[in-house]
Structure 1
Amino acid sequence: MDFMKNFLKGVAISISQIVPGVSGGTIAMILGIYDKLLHAVNNILKDFKNQYKILLQVGIGAVVGIFLFSNIVKALFDNYPIPVGYLFIGVILGGAPLMFRKATVKGFNKKSILYLILGIIIVLMMGTPNNDASAIITSLSLINFIWLFIGGVVVAVALILPGISGSFMLYILGLYNTVITAVVQFNIPVLIPIALGGIIGTLLTARIIEMLIIKFPEQTYILIFGFILGSVFSVFPGVDGLNSLIGIILGILGFIFTYYISRNE
């Protein structure tokens, strides 16, 4: 039972990573698995017996989700950006009450407002994702290997930080289409440096974030809450008549779904 739950959570996290502007870390928090994953990553060598299971289960789900749904989700986002955008806004906002509860366990004060605003501003300063028109990397050179490795590190950092979109960071680096194409075509040589960068980036970032959560829980969670609220603006697809109406309906459904899930976590 635990395997299937964690497997499906891994699938959901990987799907969210495909959509520019949506954060896998946010979805992990909504699903109530974020802190567990952080702890497992940071203690995998010290306590392998008790920590490997959740990483393996979520990891398998994430890999399956990426290979099964990357082409589908990208096609939906490319062809129906407005409805899909509203859907994910609903998903993000549905988990916002849970984020707020975590961030304000000891109350909400003037300092909290400053951290909240700072988190929102940081995400907004990144701008909104544009079409990645860069050349698609299909073969490896030393330069390409290094660049793809850096891309893997950046995606890992974005995955660990709720509110920061991994796919959006790939857009900034000009690697979004390269990664999606490599996944769809199962181009292992191109995926290897990305995976290596992802592993190293995850190990480094998870340790820092867990340390901040332990030492400065209220400040860290309220900053993350700001990241998440700021990401809503990045995902917002605009207004376009019927598409927006359909999107609002999907957004409400997404909100109800994730609110129900997060409430039970």
Structure 2
Amino acid sequence: MKSFINFLKGIAISVSTLVPGVSGGTMAIILGVYDNLIHAIGSFFENWKKHSILLIEIGLGGLVGLLLFSRIVEKALNTYPIQMGFFFIGVVAGGVPVLYKRATSGEKKKSDFLFLIIGLIIALLMSLEPEATSAMATAGGSKGFIFLIIAGIIIAVALILPGISGSFMLLILGLYDVTLNAINTFNVPFLIPLGIGVIIGTIATTKTIETLLKKYPGKTYMLILGFVLGSVLPIYPGMPNGFQAIWSILSLAIGFALIFWMGKKEF
């Protein structure tokens, strides 16, 4: 039963990574598996059998989630961009209480709030209009291959660090639509170098992030909370009109209630 629950959590985490502005790391925190995942990756060889089981269970769920929901998310974003945007804002907002509780659960210092402001500013700066890089990524050849590996490394940091959305990072790099299409069309030449970069980035940064969360939990989670709050701006779809406003408010409320409820539950 526990294995199946971890499988379902993997699906939930992977679906959240498909959404710009929604962090898979934050979802892992809400579902209560983030610390175990970080430890399993960062200290894999200390107990490789135990860690392998956890990573396989959640990894398989993640793979299934990507394959099943990438096309659905792509279609929903294209068909109902306003409503989906407000739903995503609700999802982000629903995770704020969980992160704030973690940021203030230990010794409280006023200086920790400085890191919230820093995280907010960084997220807002990152949301500025990026240069189009999809042409370089899809050009093929050695330059495109290397570029995708570097992009994968950058995305890995976003995937591991709660509060920074991997899809949001893809948007910044100008690769979100291209990557979503590559998943839906099984564009292997595109996905392989991107996946290699993600693996390299995950192995290289996990231990560092685990150490920061252990030594400076308040400051680290405040920084993450700043990232989360700052991620609302790039996913804001604009002001809805008429009945669209009603559906948008309802979508926001559903997104908030869903994640807030999951954060309250002990899975």
TM-score (norm 2): 0.91
Bigger drift between 244-253 and 101-110 goes to: 101-110
Residues 21 and 92, structure 2, Cα contact 8 Å, conserved in 1:
no
Contact 2:130–2:173 (CA<8 Å) still a contact in 1? no
168-177 or 196-205: which moved more?
Answer: 168-177
User: Shift of the alpha carbon at 1:60?
Assistant: 0.8
SS at match of 2:231: helix
1:248 aligns to what?
Answer: 249
Aligned to 2:105, the other structure's residue is in SS state coil
Q: Please report the RMSD computed on the Cα atoms of aligned residues, expressed in angstroms.
A: 2.1
Question: Taking structure 1 as reference, are residues 11 and 129 closer, same or farther at Cα in structure 2, changes over 3 Å only?
Answer: farther
Supply the AA of the counterpart residue of 2:99: M
Tell me by how many angstroms 1:153 deviates: 0.9
TM superposition shift of 1:190: 1.9
Deviation of 1:68 (Å): 1.6
Residue 133 of structure 1: how far off its partner (Å): 8.2
- Runs of at least 4 residues of structure 1 off by over 4 A? 128-133, 136-139
The alpha-carbon distance between structure 1 residues 131 and 15, as it changes in their structure 2 partners (threshold 3 A), is: farther
SS, match of residue 63 in structure 2: helix
- Separation in 2 of the partners of 1:5 and 1:75? 28
Structure 1 residue 257 and structure 2 residue 243: aligned?
Answer: no
Alignment CA distance shift 1:185-1:120 (3 Å): same
Q: Determine if the alignment matches structure 1 residue 183 to structure 2 residue 183.
A: yes
For 1:63, the equivalent position in structure 2 comes to 63
Count of residue pairs the alignment pairs up: 265
Q: Letter of the 1:41 partner, please give it.
A: I
Name the CA shift for 1:14/1:240 in 2 (closer, same or farther; >3 Å).
Answer: same
What secondary structure, in the 3-state scheme, does the structure 2 residue paired with 1:237 have?
Answer: coil
Counterpart CA distance in 2 for 1:18 and 1:56 is: 20
Q: What is the percent sequence identity of the aligned residues? A: 46
Look up the SS of the partner of 1:162 in the other structure. Answer: coil
Alpha-carbon distance between aligned partners in 2 of 1:135 and 1:244, rounded to the nearest angstrom: 36
Question: CA 1:195 to 1:57, structure 2 compared with 1: closer, same or farther past 3 Å?
Answer: same
- Mapping of residues 151-170 of structure 1, within 5 Å: 151-170=151-170
Moved more, 141-150 or 105-114: 105-114
Unaligned runs of 5+ in 2: none
Which residue of structure 1 aligns with residue 53 of structure 2?
53
Change (3 A) 1:145 1:29: same
